[in-house]
Structure 1
């Protein structure tokens, strides 16, 4: 279920938001990152992903977000753990900022025709992960660093 923007803002101001993020890796070992249009991390390259809906299984959210944000289907390889972030800025100007708890999934793309949604302005394949992602001890990123 998609919340109206005003209700989502109230949720962000009241509690953490559960998200999924995807480490999309191609056969050359590169990672697909998207350049964000909105806060948090506006104009930065980051992982595609987003919030989990009530009654939505994590793997279903992975598939939904990859179709919505990238226009592709993916094969889920494995869960790489979780991380949490705190942001002062949000697109909704939420009082008190934003607390996100994200489950990170390694996925392989099943297609190559990337079609970005309105949340991102650019994308690319990168050899290195964003530095802020490499800082989380709760993630199993040893194979990718």
Structure 2
């Protein structure tokens, strides 16, 4: 369920958002990062992921995000993923305004892929980095680094 912008802005202002982050690894064990085009975390490298929609089960949200963020149409489910835990992300800004903070409750899941990844509109580019590379990369968001 998508909300009108003004309604969603009010939700961001008053409640935390629930999301799923996908820690995607290739056959070499490298981690997929996308360069974000939207606030919060605009311009930073971040793992793919997204919000859970109202009345959407976690299983359905997971499959949708794998499809939308990675271009993988089938074969990867939440049961295939390793649950890494619950994380909290706090930002000073939001997608609408710089003076409205955003609070995410994030469910982190690790998956391994062999397929090619399709570029998604939330990211301007994708890279694969080792854990050591991303930990040292100043352009990788702090919250992404917290998964490792």
* TM-score, normalized by the shorter chain, greater than 0.5: yes
Which segments of 5 or more consecutive residues in structure 1 lack a partner in the other structure?
none
Would you say the 8 A contact 1:16–1:99 is kept in 2? yes
Secondary structure, aligned partner of 2:81: strand
Q: Which has the higher strand share?
A: 1
1:106-142: CA deviation from partner (whole Å, max 9, x where unpaired): 1122521x22222110001110275424765xxxx5x
Q: How far apart are 1:103 and its partner, in Å?
A: 0.2
Question: Secondary structure of 2:7's match?
Answer: helix
Q: What value does the CA root-mean-square deviation take over the aligned residues? A: 2.1
3-state secondary structure, aligned to 2:54: coil
Q: How far 1:70 moved relative to its partner? A: 2.1
Partner of 2:39: 39
Question: Cα distance 1:110–1:56, how it changes in 2: closer, same or farther (>3 A)?
Answer: farther
Question: Structure 1 residue 27: deviation in Å?
Answer: 1.4
- Deviations 1:62-108, CA, capped at 9 Å, x for gaps: 22112112212435322110110111122211753100110000112
Deviates more, 1:9-18 or 1:92-101: 92-101
How many residue pairs get matched? 137
Contact 1:72 1:109 (C-alpha < 8 Å) held by counterparts: no
SS state at 2:41 partner: coil
Following the alignment from structure 2 to structure 1, what is the Cα–Cα distance between the partners of residues 114 and 5? 32
TM-score (norm 2): 0.82
- List alignment gaps of at least 5 residues for structure 2: 136-141
User: TM-score if structure 1 supplies the norm length?
Assistant: 0.83
Provide the secondary structure at the position in 2 that maps to 1:22. strand
